[in-house]
Amino acid sequence: MRSIALSLLIALGTAGCGVLYKVDIYQGNLLDERNVAQLKEGMSKRQVLSLLGSPSVSDPFHANRWDYLATISQRGSEPEVKNLVLNFDGDSLASFDGDYFPKQDNELRIRLSRYGNLPREEREKARQSRAGR
């Protein structure tokens, strides 16, 4: 009985004090800075799709707006949210505005490439960049 009470007391004492490990969470689109730099007004939806990938949010009520949303939640800090908004006029890109995580996206892409979680083209790029160092 005494050991149960002691272990319960220790569990309650450490439950809320931050001793437990918290994982950094990255959600949303990983955008390559070079690809975002290539965006130009007048590009077709297909060109944008091949450059940036599919958007995080594609609203059926606003088919001419694509949102590339990304969130980073790191230990000890508030979640940070970035949103790159692309507006189309018909099939061509009319405007784009917003922000993304260029440095963090590249670092995360390199880290994920170690585990094979990227598409084949991205794995090849990462392998070549590591070989070139």
Residue 43 confidence (pLDDT): 95
% residues pLDDT > 70 (the chain): 74
Residue 79 has pLDDT above 70, yes or no: yes
- The reported pLDDT for the residue numbered 17 is 58
Report the amino acid identity of residue 130: R
Q: What is the largest CA-CA distance in the chain?
A: 74
pLDDT in tens, 20-70: 667 777 888 878 788 888 999 999 999 999 999 899 887 888 889 999 998
The first and second tokens of residue 59, run together, are 């609203």
Question: Which pLDDT score, from 0 to 100, does residue 128 have?
Answer: 73
> What is the value of pTM for the model shown?
0.63
pLDDT tier at 118, thresholds 50, 70, 90: low
